[in-house]
Amino acid sequence: MQALRGTQDILPEDAYKWNYMESAIRRLCSCYGYGEIRTPMFEATELFQRGIGDTTDVVTKEMYTFTDRGGRSITLRPENTASAVRAYLEHKLYGDQQVHKLFYIGSMFRYDRPQAGRYREFHQFGVEVLGADSPAADAEVIALAYTLFRELGLKDLVLHVNSIGCGKCRPVYRQKLIEYFHEREDKLCDLCRERLEKNPLRVLDCKEEGCRAASVDAPKITDYLCEECQAKFEALQKYLTALGIPFELDPRLVRGLDYYTNTAFEIQYTPLGAQSAICGGGRYDGLVEEIGGPHTPSVGFAVGLERLLLALEMQGLIPAPVRPRHVYIAALGEDAVAEGIRIQQQLRADGVRADMDLQGRSLKGQMKQAGKSGADYAVIIGENELAAGEAAVKSMADGTQENIPFENVPKYIADKESGVK
């Protein structure tokens, strides 16, 4: 049996890298005042259909949807914004009229064609700010992502920013775009031709050669923004500049989910190739209403953690794991093992890694194992040591050995270690 295509195991030798990223994330979210939310891995399919949009690739082609034994249509979450909004409504968080700042880390599922940086089960860290209409909130979430990457040491990331307008100005732009692409329909791929009327903005984002070429002179959304959207977009740029965050205006950036309004942004790391977006997000002022709640302007983003990890590894930015002191206790016979277990328990309580044999090896075999495991000390309890009530404590680095009464072993090791390694 093998892990399914597009999924992967994270073994102990790599898990520390995930912990490293996640602790940086948690530290930063705490400074920015974001509280963690954990929502279920699966939800009613309708939530994503309504939230993400019926014509998006995610909903039409990529969802893991099944009927459960009760006959309900269930979907493994392809992203977490819709679920966060559902939870926000279900628990009436809007009731206190406050801005709610949430973050999450977890698995998402999309039936996509797997390749480097693109998986069927992948992990996102995301934030959602619910109930804030100021462009300062957009600037804050961008600053959070930017600061995370900077604190991790990443270089050569590019922030792309766009505004995709609102319910007032976007329809005018949509119409212009439909007219423009109708004149070039023969150059578009089948999918784009099909979705042109329903979702013309997606053509701008299509990776097909013909669609890209056809898009070159397409009208720009930023030329059609209403006064209010224009003012918000300018304010965001002013705040980003004040924060010292460099950005590129990218009028072709439209994002793949339908809930966005106004701000759309991505942070890209070009060496990742086709899957260069490490972080994507934007404002979604209509989503809470779409899901049945009060008008709640909101903004957020999600970072793909596999892609972040790839970028960190490419730039050699994952520090070696912190290694606690390590002691191997070699004991033979039940009485000696009982003494060993007592010492082991104390060492572990002191924060020392303490291992013992669990496979019935001889004392010689256990000592070999101590060497192999990279232990700093071996604590040996054979027949003679048991009789004397003292263990032989051997430094694996220089081979020196001393006999120490059982009860003093943890302290002896602690004293030796303070100031060493």
Please report, as ranges, the residues that interact with ligand HAM according to CB under 6 A.
79, 81, 110, 112, 118-119, 122, 124, 126, 128, 256-257, 277-282, 284, 300-302, 304, 306-307
Cβ proximity to ligand HAM: between 266 and 357 the closer is 266
Tally Cβ neighbours within 10 Å of residue 309: 21
SS3 content of the chain, % helix, strand, coil (to 5): 45, 20, 35
The answer for 108, left when phi > 0, alpha when psi is -120 to 50, beta otherwise, is beta
Query: Shortest approach of ligand HAM to residue 124 CB, angstroms?
Result: 5
Cβ proximity to ligand HAM: between 293 and 410 the closer is 293
* Nearest CA among 379, 387, 385 for reference residue 413: 379
Query: Shortest approach of ligand HAM to residue 314 CB, angstroms?
Result: 15
Distance CA 302, CA 278 (A): 8
Could you please report the per-residue DSSP string of 164-191? Answer: ---TTTHHHHHHHHHHHHHTTGGGS-HH
Cβ proximity to ligand HAM: between 118 and 416 the closer is 118
Query: Shortest approach of ligand HAM to residue 300 CB, angstroms?
Result: 3
Query: Shortest approach of ligand HAM to residue 110 CB, angstroms?
Result: 5
Angle (CA) 283-154-136 rounded to 5° is 25
Distance CA 397, CA 384 (A): 24
Query: Shortest approach of ligand HAM to residue 290 CB, angstroms?
Result: 14
Query: Shortest approach of ligand HAM to residue 299 CB, angstroms?
Result: 7
165 contacts 224 by C-beta, under 8 angstroms: yes
Which residue carries 């793909």 as its tokens? 304
Give the nearest residue (CB) to ligand HAM: 304
Cβ proximity to ligand HAM: between 256 and 382 the closer is 256
Cβ proximity to ligand HAM: between 64 and 94 the closer is 64
Sequence-separated (6 or more) residues with CB below 8 Å from residue 166: 226, 228, 229, 261, 262, 285
Cβ proximity to ligand HAM: between 131 and 410 the closer is 131
